[in-house]
Amino acid sequence: MNAYRPDIDGLRALAVVAVVAFHAGVPGCSGGFAGVDVFYVISGYLITTLLVDELMRTGSIDFAAFYARRVRRLLPALCVVVVATLALGVLLLHPFGERQELARSAIATALFSSNFFFWSNTGGYFDHDVTLRPLLHTWSLAVEEQFYLAWPPLLLLLHRAATLLRLPLRPVALASLVAIFAGSLLLTGDLRPTTAFYLLPARAWELALGALLGWRGPATARRAGTTVLAGLIGLGAAAATICLFDADSPWPGIRTLLPALATAALIASGAGPVSPAARLLALPPLVYVGRLSYSWYLWHWPLLAMLRAHNLGAEDPAGAAAAAGVSLALAALTYHFIENPVRQRRVRGFRSKRGALLAGAALLGVMLLAAAALGLEARDAAARRAAEHREYQAARGEFPPLTRHCAQDAPFAALPDEDACTLGAASDPLRLALWGDSHADQFGTSLASFARLQHVRVLQRVMRFCPPVAGYRPPMLGPDSGSCVAFNAAVLSELRALRARGLSGVVLSARWLLYAGEPALSVRRVPYANATLGPDAAAAMRRGLADTIGALHALGLRVLLIAPVPEMRYDVPDCLARSTLQPARCDVPRAPVDRNRREFARMLAELASADDAARVWDPLPELCDARTCYASRGGELLFHDDTHISAAAARALYPALAPALQWAAAGE
């Protein structure tokens, strides 16, 4: 049996601190998610060391004893955290999907398959929406648990094969591990990012790297100079990973070699006779935090996710720091009163192999029953609030009317069929075109009312993240920004042809403030928030918009510019769906809305005043009074999310918008 390595507990401490700091948004820890990769290498090393020691001593592996140890180590603390998280979900999550998903993720956790659950139910680990999923972090435990299920039988199989072929076990096992390492690492580059992140085949190389160290044991670093150098390089590489990488770094992949090899170097250096890095990692405070690392990892994410749910996604640095501190305190209690007593067999039911396995099955049953109970409670709660649920679903599902058929996404190929993207009866004349991004699409319901009541047709041309500005390259589309240029050029060409068929006017609408570089009022973090717009974004938008209006005027078309709708602080349906909140909390004061849109509204007014064929219609007076912009009115939600109005709001706006539409449709 190998001696206890305090430096490995210190390494665990560094890994868990990095992960918690990253999740809590601590500056300078943008690559802290790599702490999970450190854990994988450590696990591969420790598990293989134990299994090889047993195999060499006995010629076999006691699977019951191995899995009993895993039960004692993992399941008691996991069960406590999962059940506590489910209980918190009743208080802080709404029953219109959130509690149900939490229940399903708890079931997946109990079945060691939560990595598959989040792989199939999220857009990726770094997406904003996943920050509200309280059991997301269990994906990494599932990967390890699947490794525990596969590696001991495979190791024993290699032993039996080597014996049968009369080959030394060591080179057979090392060759197999090298093959797993290389094959898994190569596979990672061929998989989709979400698949590579969540699933074992793309993570196996990290565990295999640790397993290779486990086979070589203390002989890894015998020379003092090698030991010192390996440890110092390992510490430097680990620090570089935490400080330099971020959520935009492709992960896992070649870059993941840096923290993995750093961990291997630190493990190897700690096995040698002299290692300053190992002495540093063996300092008592680090060792103690390392012993708490499993429980701290379990507790920290559910508390942070519940805090975000309570804050409706708003960033709260002080609250996140407090949640991290509370989770550390809970980890200490869990370690001293649950995790350690069970692991040391001081709890009666876990003393024998058979008892531990039965107790483990019982703990899994408790998690499954608690998850089922939450699912039933959520169903009953949703039934009691059925009317609210219908309103919530309507705001989500009804907007926008033509998106599924006509809204373009990069890369752009060609405009969809005109007839499929036209509002109104086929026999009515085509008089208007609605051109813009999703903030144009949100007015589709208003334009549909206009088409029906005025007996005209309205063409809709929409591309997400592409304002109706000729030649504009939106940074939000990254390398696909040329698609916006191509789309707008195609629309202009189409409008030129449609003018000859009687088209009279064009309605331009977009999330103007986004492209002009104004800060968003919403608390929601989105991928395009980091797009570099530059200090002259507003001036570039003005020039491009003026040129576009001029081009449309030259065609003889009237131009109606729709000013920005107010942006809300929270996702409105989500905000109103939470029973613990008062509806007024979802509203926003008028003052910050005015400040945020003042400069661009002035710009639109100046552009319209410079051209008698252009006008501006402002939806703000219809959605706000002098003091407040409302999330709902008369029992109807006014917003689809935090920036788009709902279909109900678009219908309600029609009477105010109709005169401006009539002016545009009248032509010159």
- Greater pLDDT, 265 or 396: 265
Q: Picking from 85-94, 139-148, 167-176, which range would have the lowest pLDDT averaged per residue?
A: 167-176
- Share in percent of the chain as helix, strand, coil (round to 5): 65, 5, 25
Given a cut of 70, is residue 399 above it in pLDDT?
no
The DSSP 8-state label assigned to residue 335 in this structure reads I
Place of tokens 């699912």: 375
Burial of 97 from C-beta contacts in 10 A (0-12 / 13-18 / 19+): middle
d(CA 270, CA 290): 16
- Mean of pLDDT values over 286-299: 97
Distance CA(543)–CA(109), nearest Å, equals 54
How much is the pLDDT for 167? 85
The listed range with the strongest mean pLDDT (93-102, 118-127, 273-282, 360-369) is 360-369
Q: In the chain, what are the domain boundaries? A: 6-383, 401-565+589-624+647-666
* Number of neighbouring beta carbons within 10 Å of residue 162: 17
Alpha-carbon span 623 to 447, nearest angstrom: 18
In sequence order, the β-bridge partners of residue 193 are none
Query: For the sheet containing 614-617, what is the strand order?
Result: 422-423, 457-462, 430-436, 505-509, 558-562, 614-617
Q: Which residues contact 168 (CB under 8 A, 6 or more apart)?
A: 162
* Residue in 41, 25, 48 with CA at minimum distance from that of residue 256: 41
- Taking only the tens place, the pLDDT of each residue in 159-172 is 898 888 888 888 88
Say yes or no to pLDDT of 324 above 60: yes
CATH architecture of 401-565+589-624+647-666: 3-Layer(aba) Sandwich (3.40)
* Helix, strand or coil, per DSSP, at residue 559: strand
pLDDT of residue 257: 92
pLDDT in the model for residue 584: 81
Whether 287 has a pLDDT exceeding 70, the answer reads yes
Q: Of 171-185, 403-417, 419-433, 615-629, which gets the smallest average pLDDT?
A: 403-417
- As a whole number of angstroms, the distance between CA 7 and CA 267 comes to 8
- Grade residue 393 by pLDDT with cuts at 50, 70 and 90: low
What does the alpha-carbon distance between residue 423 and residue 440 come to, in Å, rounded to a whole number? 14
Let me know: does 423 contact 458? Beta carbons within 8 Å. yes
Find how far residue 435's CA is from the centre of its chain. Answer: 31
Going by pLDDT thresholds of 50, 70 and 90, the confidence category of residue 389 is: low
The helix/strand/coil state of 519 is: coil
Q: What pLDDT was estimated at residue 68? A: 95
The model's pLDDT over 423-436, given as tens digits with 9 standing for 90+, comes to: 989 899 999 999 99
Q: Which of 16-20, 63-67, 173-177 is predicted least confidently?
A: 173-177
pLDDT in tens, 564-587: 999 999 888 888 877 555 778 889
- Give kind and range of the element (H or E) at residue 215: helix 204-216
- Residue 184 above 80 pLDDT? yes
First-residue to last-residue Cα distance in the chain: 91
When pLDDT is cut at 50, 70 and 90, the band that residue 219 belongs to is very low
Q: What is the pLDDT of residues 601-652, one digit of tens each?
A: 888 888 888 878 899 999 999 999 999 999 988 878 899 888 899 888 998 9
CA 412 to chain centre: 26
pTM of the model: 0.82
pLDDT computed for residue 221 by the predictor: 44
Pick the more confident residue, 480 or 368. 368
Higher pLDDT: 36 or 404? It is 36
